[in-house]
Each structure stands twice: as C-alpha cells, then as structure tokens.
Structure 1
C-alpha cells in the first residue's frame, strides 16, 4: 500500500522555481522565472525556442491560495471593466500618531466614489481622498489552464473527461502524481485549508478517476521529457 503524507504544500511553493507556459509568439515552451538582481526582484518570461522575451510587472499577491492576483496599476485603468480595489494607507498629518486606512473592492471602476471619507484610526479626524491620493488596482481571478499571475496558458495542461489537469512545472507534476497514486492519504499539519491538495476539485481526489488521471499525468510526463535542457539565457 502506497501512503502519501501531506506536509502542507502550498500553491506558492509549487510556482517555484519556474512556471511553464505557452509562448504567445510560437506556442512552444516559455518559462516565467524570478530573477534576483541585488536587493530587487524582477520577473521575466522567455521562450525556449524563439526570441520572445518580456519583463513582467511585479505582482503583489494577497491571497494565500493564490486564487487572486493583483496588477499594481493606476495607469490604463480606463481600459479595465472588471473588479477594482482601492487602498488608502496614509499617515495622519494632524496627530502624527495614526493612519487613514481603507481597503475595498468595487465590481467596476464607475462605482468608486469621487471622494472617499476615512477617519484616522488614532484621533478619529475625518479626511477626504480623491483618486490622486489612493492606490487603484485591477483585480482578476485565475482561470483553469492559465498561470495565476500573468494569464499565460500553461504548457503542461491536458483535458480529461471531468475537466482539465494542469500543473506549473515538472516538480508540480511529480507531487500531484504522488498524491493521485496513493492508496492512503494523510496530513500532518493543523490548518488543512491552506494545503494545495485541499483545494483540488473533488473529481481529481476521487479514487474512481485514479486510472484516467494517472494516464493523463503520464502523457504530461512524456511532454515534459521531450523538452531539451537549455543553457542559461
């Protein structure tokens, strides 16, 4: 009997060290990687086959399960028709002890008030803020088959009878395979809802679908094995 012990693997850890996606130019394998440059961190995507290269905007992720992702943009918001988030985090200039703090989502930009009234959390003095004083973000939600940050289509993605099986990289695929083929699944940490495996759809976790899913995983392994190792670009 094969036993799998869930040690609390999070979605965040599965995104490292890279995300495999389809190149938008040639549809071959491209990789999203984080690069440490001194004290700063940049995110880049590069194709392993063609000349496609792009520096990606750093994204501040709020949700521990990475189902939400945020683009820190005050510019080009006129093109966005979806959910927006307004944040105010400003020190009070009167009492110099408290802050004006505000965080709220709006289903579209037109619903945001022209001025937002916020009270200082120390002296309770009210102040009004317009769009020149607050941070405005557009909020998106991840889609099945796309990476949860930049919405590139995932390279290791395959359709089965009940839905799609998609992983970020070969390491993610290996971990998912170990979970699926286990006869006994256990966990050894208190907060189960923070685990990647707790977020999997019921049809993936069902033993009834084990053979079909393992066949799909085998096909994904074959796809990954055909990728030739590359020198650093």
Structure 2
C-alpha cells in the first residue's frame, strides 16, 4: 500500500483527454480522445463495437438536460404554471414544450421550455457529449467512476495512500471528492470497486 500521495491540484478535466464511455448506438464501449481545455475544446468518440463516431464540431450534447419554463394559466389566469424537469437524453427531446397542470384549476397548459445541461446524481458522464461512463461501479455509499486508465490509476494511488498531501486548492479534483470517498474507513470498499474497473479497462495506463 502506498504511504503518500501528492495532490498536484489538477482539476477533473485534466484526465478528460481520454475517456471510456458507453456508445449511444449499441451500448458497447468506445473511447473519446480530445482536449478538455476551453481554448481548444474538442473531442472525437469512436465506438469499438459498432464504429459509431461523434465529433464536437458536428454533434451536440447527448446527456441529461434540465428543462424549465413557466406561464400564466390559459384557463384561470393563475400565476404560475411551472415546469422543472430533467430529460435523460437531450438528443431524444421531441419539441421545446411540455404539458403541465395548473395548481389552481387543474387544467392542462402547454409550457415552453428552456434547456440547460445538467448531470446525473453520480456525475458519471463524459464532459463533451454527456455519455454514460463505461468505468463506473456502484457501492453502498455511492458510485466510483473514472474517465480512463490514467485517471483510474491516480484515483487508486490517492485512495490507497496513508498520507495525502497537496496545496488544497478548491479546484483540485481530490479536494472536491465526496467525503465517503476520502474517509479511511471506506478505503477497502473503494479499492475493491477500483479493482473491478481495472479489469474492464480498454485504454492503457499512462496514456492521455
């Protein structure tokens, strides 16, 4: 077991140069390669199962979105008939409005929606298109996940370390970890989940 881990303060996106994700076409595993920094934000996805591909300069967000809207009731004038709903797949949204009942008179109203990107509770999606990550493992406390081999390797080193050092910057990926992932009493459980993820890797350690 490692005795020390030095947190260099990298944000999560530092490891998003290579991401293993679930293909939206065939549910097999594919890989993103790209640049996650905003000045040169781009990525391509290639499925190892069906050869489906995605490109950031061509394809839109496929992940979850939050649709929000409000309007006065068309029947009784009550303000407001509100909608706040998460849609799991932005690419499958049909139209830009939905029906909602007035809380006053119970009549149905057509409410126009505005959409913003959001994340599932476990945050286990890629940052480019919002596809489900291939490297995710549920535990009794939450989901252990990683973008790819290099990310997973660093997560393992951090988890197994008896002493964790670093600058503690608020942007650090490890600083922003949920408490259940940091606590030593869950170390064995988290390492077990990481071991399962290592067996499913299709990218190589040290790449990206």
Shift of 1:49: 1.9
Q: How far has the Cα of 1:161 moved from its partner?
A: 0.9
- Pair 1:81-2:67 in alignment: yes
Cα distance, 1:54 vs. partner?
2.2
Tell me how far apart the structure 2 counterparts of residues 47 and 58 of structure 1 sit (CA, whole Å).
16
- Size of the aligned set, in residue pairs, is 155
Counterpart in 1 of 2:104?
none
C-alpha distance in structure 2 between counterparts of 1:58 and 1:184, whole Å: 45
Deviation of residue 41 (structure 1)?
A: 6.6
The equivalent residue for 1:130 is none
Could you tell me which residue of structure 1 aligns to residue 11 of structure 2?
10
Question: Aligned residue for 2:26?
Answer: 26
CA distance in 1 between counterparts of 2:119 and 2:47 reads 22
| Higher Rg of the two aligned structures | 1
- Give 1:173 deviation, angstroms: 0.2
Query: Per-residue deviation at 1:48?
Result: 1.2
C-alpha separation between the residues in 2 aligned to 1:185 and 1:80? 37
Taking the TM superposition and a 5 Å limit, the aligned residue runs for 1:107-118 are: none
Would the alpha carbon gap of residues 192 and 228 (structure 1) be closer, same or farther in structure 2, given more than 3 Å must change? Answer: closer
| Superposed CA offset, 1:6-60 (max 9, x none) | 11121121112x111011122111112228xxxx87432110121211223489x
- Contact 2:33–2:43 under 8 Å retained in 1: yes
Change (3 A) 1:228 1:80: closer
Assess if the C-alpha contact under 8 Å between 1:19 and 1:31 holds in 2: yes
Deviations 1:169-212 (A, max 9, x none): 1100000000000001111x3x6211000111000000000001
The CA deviation at 1:214 is 0.4
Match of 1:198, SS state, is coil
Q: What is the match of residue 164 of structure 1?
A: 143
Answering whether residue 177 of structure 2 is matched by residue 200 of structure 1, we say: yes
**Structure 1 segments (4+ residues) deviating >4 Å:** 107-110
The question of whether the paired residues in 2 share the 8 Å contact of 1:43 and 1:58 is answered with no
The answer to whether 1:146 aligns with 2:125 is yes
What is the alpha-carbon distance in structure 2 between the residues aligned to residue 203 and residue 19 of structure 1?
Answer: 24
Residue of structure 1 in register with 2:186 after alignment: 209
Alignment counterpart, residue 174 of structure 1, candidates 150, 153, 156: 153
Q: Report the Cα distance in structure 2 between the residues aligned to 1:45 and 1:28, rounded to whole angstroms.
A: 12
Task: Tell me if structure 2 keeps the 8 A contact 1:28–1:49.
Answer: yes
Which ranges in structure 2 are unaligned for 5 or more consecutive residues? 70-83, 86-95, 98-113
Q: TM-score, normalised on structure 2?
A: 0.64
